[in-house]
Amino acid sequence: MHYSFTRLWARASVVVGAGAIVLALLIAAVAVTATGEEFDHISLITRVLAGGLVTLVGLLVGGTMIVAGQLVSVLLDQRDILSRILETLAPTRPAAPGGVPPPGGPR
């Protein structure tokens, strides 16, 4: 099995996680630097704290998604490597009559 959907999901998780971090940084920058009548009543310290909170949430959510996607990718890579090792070490001689492996297991 190739697990192509799972690989796609892992890559998508990494991309969406990176996008979440970038989006959080952009929202934080807008929150801190916004000017205009609708932002005049909000103090600068409040906007800075809101920007910091949005950045922190973006890093937590995005970082978690990136790590999860990379872990799934690593597990799938390990599975591929182990299957190649098994193919290399698998016996090339035919099984005993009746499909029963020889005593002592495959060699």
Question: Is 42 among the domain residues?
Answer: yes
pLDDT for position 34: 87
Residue 28 resides in a domain:
yes
Residue 107: pLDDT over 60: no
Nearest to 32 by CA among 17, 11, 49, 18: 49
| Residue among 73, 30, 61, 63 at smallest CA distance from 48 | 30
**CA pair distance 63, 103, nearest whole angstrom:** 51
**63, 21 in Cβ contact below 8 A?**
yes
Q: Is residue 106 part of a domain?
A: no
Do the domain assignments include residue 102?
no
Residue 2 tokens, joined: 């190739």
Contact of 10 with 70, CB cutoff 8 Å: yes
Q: Which domain holds residue 12?
A: 4-83
Q: pTM to 2 decimals?
A: 0.75
**One-letter amino acid identity for 9?**
W
What pLDDT shows up at residue 105? 58
Asked if pLDDT for residue 96 goes beyond 80, the answer is: no
Q: How confident is the model at residue 87 (pLDDT cuts 50, 70, 90)?
A: confident
Residue 104 lies in a domain: no
Number of domains in the chain: 1
- On whether residue 100 sits in a domain, the answer given is no
Whether residue 8 lies inside any domain: the answer is yes
Does some domain include residue 13? yes
What would you report as the CA-atom Rg of the chain, rounded to the nearest whole angstrom? 26
| Mean of per-residue pLDDT scores for the chain | 88
